[in-house]
Structure formats: C-alpha cells, structure tokens
C-alpha cells in the first residue's frame, strides 16, 4: 500500500469528514433506538411525582397505582392541566406547580382535598439547588409540613413559605409553612411558585371551571411527537457557576 | 509479546496505585467533587469514565497511524464526545434515577482531563490492547478514589450507604439522641478536603517510591 501523506490538506479534510459522518450516524442510531425506553422512564418519573404529592411514596407498581388513583385529567388550556384523583374514596385535585429557585427551575405537585382549600400533600423537586440547603425542599419533611394548610384567604392565594416570624401580619399559621434554614432564595422561589401556579386553577378548585377538550385528542401521530405533554423534564442548560449563598 | 506479560500488567496496575490519576497526577478533580455526595452516583460515574477511557483509548489507538497530526485533538474529541453521548443515553434508558443525579456531569466527562491525557500521552503511541489496559487501569484508579470519597461523604453527610440507613434513628437529635448529620459533607468543599486526605495518605504510604 502506498504510503499516504497524512499531512496533506485534502487528506485532513476527507478524514475529518468521514470521522464526523460515522459519529453522526452512530449517535443518531443509538438515540433513536433508546428513545422509547427513555420516554417511558421520564413518564414513569412524572407519575411517581404525582403519586408522591398524594402521599403515595415509594410505590412498587407506579404505573398500576397511577392508573388506579388518577381518574381524570382536566385541561384548562393547551399547556395547563391538572388531575382529579381518588385516594381511599376521597376526591383530590392535583395541581402542577412550576417556578424558579436560586440556580434553576423548581417544579412540583400540590394535592388538594375535595373542599378545594385544604392541602392533602405536596411534592417538590428542583433542577440544581444547593445540596444541603435549597435542595432540602425535595425532602419529605418539608413537603409534609404543607399537610392540612389552607390555600385561600379573602379570595386570594395565601399559601406561602416564610422565614420564622417573618410572615405578613395577621396571617395565621394555617396559611404558611416555615422556610428552609439557609435557603431564603429557594424558599422564596417555592412561595412565588405556589402563588402564581395555584392562582391558575382557582376555578377548578371551586368546582366551576370550564375545561377544554383534551388537546391531544384527534391529533395525528405526527404532530403528537412535538406536543408538549405536561410532563416535567430536567432541562440541562449551560449555566455560569456562581458563589453559593 | 504475550497479552498478559509483566509490562502489560504494569500498564494496568500502575494507575491503580503509584500513578493514580487523582492521587498522583491530580487530574479529574472537578467531577470527583461534584458526584461524590452519595456512593451510587460515584460508582456509576467511576464506571462510566472507565468504560469511556478504555474504549476511546482503543479506538484512537486503532486509528492512530491514520490521524492527521494537525487535527488529532479534534479527532480525539469527536471520539470521546460520541462515546460520552452514547453512555449518557444508555444511563437515561436503563438507570434513569442515577442519570438524573449525575445530570450535567456525564456530559462533562468529555472535559475530564484523564481522558484527553491518556489519549494524547498513551493511545497515540501504543497498540490497542495496551491502550485498553491503560484505559481500564486509569478509569478504575479514578473510580477507587471516588468510591472512598463517596463512602465517607454519604455516611457522614446523610447517615446512609447506598441509601440504606446506617446510623440508628434513635441516635439523632430529633429523636432525643446526640448525633446529627454533618451537612458540610454534602458540600463540594468537603470533597476537596477528603480528596486531599486521600492524597496525603497515599503519599505517606508510598514515601519510598515518590522520591
């Protein structure tokens, strides 16, 4: 075999092209082969989060329990939907909440009793809050502290998260939980998230919402691929690392 | 030269101890701090780096004579990036919870100094089998330190190992005991101190060889 000049320009360009094409095909193949399994995992994770808000944590059969408990999905618009659930014969409404913490996104679910006012359970998670501080909102003790709290006062969403002794004057302890120590900004994020997200579902909770039809219904498969189903993903965005608070 | 000759044995065991990528060369520290707050992600990260180092070493070694010198770093990067993306996809499909915990750090394996260092310093000059051993050795050397750090951090920071509670419930302050988890251990800064301790112990034990 004739010795190739591996330093020539033509060889370099052809070589780079071939390497990139091979890599591209390989990646496309792996990504499309594994996509169904990955989507199933994401969906499963979302279901376990909804169940956690209904105080059904660590279920062995997430799929089965979810189908048993969740009775109906109520669509308010293309992007907003909540769930009607039944736990031990009691009606619950599960509201998805979404907001921003100190470093990245926050999300979660709030399950509300049939009276449309009392919190039955919550689940929160986060993208990248500080471990040991803001990340503690994902721990059960914090989420359980919401149990039995009230959502509305004087027609406004009052449920909040405040530093001990820093709640607005005259707000009874029925309407707020204590913030996580050392994580003021994350706690404020949860507070804001609850207020803005729950406000969207006031009518549903009062029982006089006018739900729209399932926007996924009658949509061709082709479009469904791009449909944003209300699932929670874990966006990975490049971000600048800054000092912790 | 046989496959398991003394020289090849040394290629494999060197990075496990006397030429450990973290303890001696002090490479790959960044990810060692980020993923060691619990044992399970630390092990998965260690294994992922091992697999990627080994296979990218083999691939680069196989094509080392054809790589145009001027774009060799780019070719190495393409190979590593492709392998990392594949591993990341596999993690997402089969160990979803771990991939959520590792989050961006799997992608950041691409920038792990150990990989580029081994490709440039070893795989470009040596055959595929030696490169494979070198990759496995370096990956496991890295994983070993991660496991030690992850073990200490999870035990002291959360009171658990692999998520199983080790410290009895009754010992905690909340339950009237005297023990409290060390929140510092969950922070990356403590990982740096623990890595330093590992390096210290390693140097103290291998005093003779280091001279």
Distances (CA, A) of B125 to A66, A163, B80: 56, 61, 18
Structure confidence at residue B97 (pLDDT): 79
Distance (Å) from the C-alpha of residue A179 to the closest C-alpha of chain B?
A: 17
CB neighbours of residue A12 within 10 Å: 18
Tell whether the model's pLDDT for residue A135 goes beyond 70. Answer: yes
Give the SS3 label for residue A105. strand
- For an interface test with A, which of B92, B110, B150, B174 has the most A Cβ atoms less than 10 Å from its Cβ? B92
What is the per-residue pLDDT across B182-205, written as a single tens digit (0 to 9) for each? Answer: 777 877 888 889 988 988 888 888
What span, in angstroms and rounded, lies between the C-alpha atoms of A130 and A183?
A: 8
Q: Quick one: average pLDDT of A132-160?
A: 87
Indicate whether B61 belongs to any domain.
Answer: yes
| DSSP codes of every residue in A169-228 | TT--GGGEEEPPTT-HHHHHHHHHHHHHHHHTTHHHHHT---PBP-TTTT--HHHHTT--
- What DSSP character marks residue A57? -
Tell me the pLDDT band of B210, cut-offs 50, 70 and 90: low
The answer to whether position B1 is within a domain reads no
In total, how many domains does chain B have?
Answer: 1
Mean pLDDT of A86-94: 88
CA of A234: which chain B residue's CA is closest? B100
Query: Nearest C-alpha of chain A: how many angstroms from B182?
Result: 10
- Residue B183 counted as domain residue: yes
3-class state of residue A113 by DSSP: strand
Q: Which of A7, A41, A234 sits opposite B69 (nearest CB)?
A: A7
- Packing angle of the helix pair B39-62, B72-94 (nearest 10 deg): 140
**Residue B1 pLDDT > 80, yes or no?**
no
Question: Buried b vs exposed e over B142-173: b needs ≥16 C-beta within 10 Å?
Answer: bbbbbbbbbbbbbbbbbbeeeeeeebeeeeee
Cα B68 from chain centroid (whole Å): 30
- Mean pLDDT confidence for A43-70: 88
pLDDT of B2 reads 65
B155 lies in some domain: yes
Looking at per-residue pLDDT, the higher value among B4 and B58 belongs to B58
**pLDDT 10s digits, B7-50:** 788 887 878 777 788 777 778 787 788 778 888 888 888 888 89
B110-138 pLDDT, tens digit each = 878 888 888 888 888 888 988 998 999 98
As given in the structure block, the two tokens for residue A142 are 């914090």
What count of other Cβ atoms lies within 10 Å of the Cβ of residue B85? 18
Determine the distance from the C-alpha atom of residue B140 to the mean position of all C-alpha atoms in its chain, rounded to a whole number: 7
Beta-sheet strand order (sheet of A119-126): A70-75, A81-87, A90-100, A105-113, A119-126
- pLDDT given for residue A2 in this prediction: 54
pLDDT in tens, A17-28: 999 999 999 999
Nearest to A132 among B70, B97, B187 (CB): B187
Contacts of B67 in chain A (CB under 8 A): 6, 15
Confidence of residue A210 (pLDDT cuts 50, 70, 90): low
In a domain, B62, yes or no: yes
A contact test, residue of B81, B82, B101, B172 with most A CBs within 10 A: B82
Element (H, E) at A95: strand A90-100
pLDDT score at A242: 43
CA dihedral A126, A131, A135, A141 (to 10 degrees): 140
Contact residues, chain A to chain B, C-beta under 8 Å: 4, 6-7, 11-12, 15-16, 19-20, 23, 26-27, 30-31, 34, 37-38, 41-42, 44-45, 128, 131-132, 234, 236
| Mean pLDDT, chain B, whole residue set | 83
Q: Are B68 and A12 in contact (CB < 8 Å)?
A: yes
How many beta-carbon contacts under 8 Å exist across A and B? Answer: 72
pLDDT for res A99 = 92
By Cβ distance, the residue of B75, B90, B103 closest to A34 is: B90
From the list B79, B89, B183, the residue facing A31 with the nearest CB is B89
Question: Which of A7, A30, A234 is facing B89, going by the closest CB pair?
Answer: A30
Q: Which domain holds residue B110?
A: 20-202
CA angle A111, A113, A118 (to 5 degrees): 90
pLDDT for B207 equals 75
How many other C-beta atoms can be found within 10 angstroms of the C-beta atom of residue B116?
17
Contact A6 B186 (CB under 8 A): no
Distance CA B55, CA B62 (A): 11
Q: For the residues of B43-80, what is the DSSP string, one character each?
A: HHHHHHHHHHHHHHHHHHHHTTTTS-GGGHHHHHHHHH
Examine residue B207 and state whether it is found in any structural domain, yes or no. Answer: no
Pairing of strands A176-178, A160-162: parallel
């Amino acid at each position: 075999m004739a010795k190739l000049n591996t330093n020539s320009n033509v060889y370099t360009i052809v070589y780079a092209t071939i390497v990139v094409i091979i890599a591209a095909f390989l990646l496309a193949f792996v990504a499309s082969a594994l996509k169904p399994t990955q989507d199933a995992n994401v969906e499963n994770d979302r279901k376990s989060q909804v169940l956690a808000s209904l105080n059904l944590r660590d279920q062995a059969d997430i799929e089965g329990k979810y189908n048993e408990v969740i009775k109906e999905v109520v669509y308010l618009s293309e992007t907003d939907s909540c769930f009607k659930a039944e736990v031990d014969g009691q009606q619950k409404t599960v509201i998805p909440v979404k907001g921003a913490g100190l470093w990245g996104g926050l999300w979660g679910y709030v399950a509300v009793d049939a009276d449309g006012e009392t919190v039955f359970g919550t689940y929160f998670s986060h993208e990248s809050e500080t471990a040991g501080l803001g990340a503690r909102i994902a721990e059960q003790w914090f989420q359980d502290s919401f149990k039995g709290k009230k959502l509305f006062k004087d027609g406004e969403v009052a449920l909040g998260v405040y530093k001990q002794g820093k709640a607005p004057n005259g707000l009874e302890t029925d309407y707020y939980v204590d913030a996580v120590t050392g994580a003021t900004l994350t706690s404020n994020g949860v507070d804001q998230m609850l207020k803005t997200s729950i406000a969207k579902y006031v009518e549903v909770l009062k029982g006089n919402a006018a739900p729209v039809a399932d926007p996924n219904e009658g949509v061709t498969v082709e479009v469904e691929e791009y449909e944003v189903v209300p699932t929670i993903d874990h966006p990975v965005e490049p971000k600048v690392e800054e000092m912790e608070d | 030269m046989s496959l398991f000759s003394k020289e090849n044995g040394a290629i494999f065991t060197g990075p496990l101890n006397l030429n450990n990528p973290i303890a001696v060369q002090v490479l790959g520290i960044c990810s060692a701090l980020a993923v060691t707050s619990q044992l399970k992600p630390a092990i998965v990260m260690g294994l992922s780096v091992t697999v990627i180092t080994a296979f990218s070493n083999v691939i680069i070694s196989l094509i080392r004579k054809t790589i145009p010198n001027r774009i060799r770093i780019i070719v190495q990067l393409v190979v590593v990036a492709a392998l990392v993306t594949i591993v990341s996809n596999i993690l997402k499909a089969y160990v979803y919870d771990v991939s959520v915990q590792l989050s961006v750090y799997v992608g950041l394996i691409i920038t792990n100094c150990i990989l580029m260092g081994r490709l440039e310093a070893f795989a470009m000059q040596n055959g595929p089998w030696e490169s494979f051993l070198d990759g496995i050795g370096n990956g496991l050397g890295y994983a070993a330190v991660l496991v030690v750090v992850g073990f200490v951090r999870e035990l002291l920071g959360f009171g658990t190992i692999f998520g199983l509670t080790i410290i009895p419930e009754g010992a905690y302050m909340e339950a009237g005991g005297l023990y409290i988890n060390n929140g510092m251990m969950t922070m990356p800064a403590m990982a740096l101190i623990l890595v330093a301790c590992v390096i210290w112990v390693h140097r103290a034990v291998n005093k003779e060889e280091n001279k």
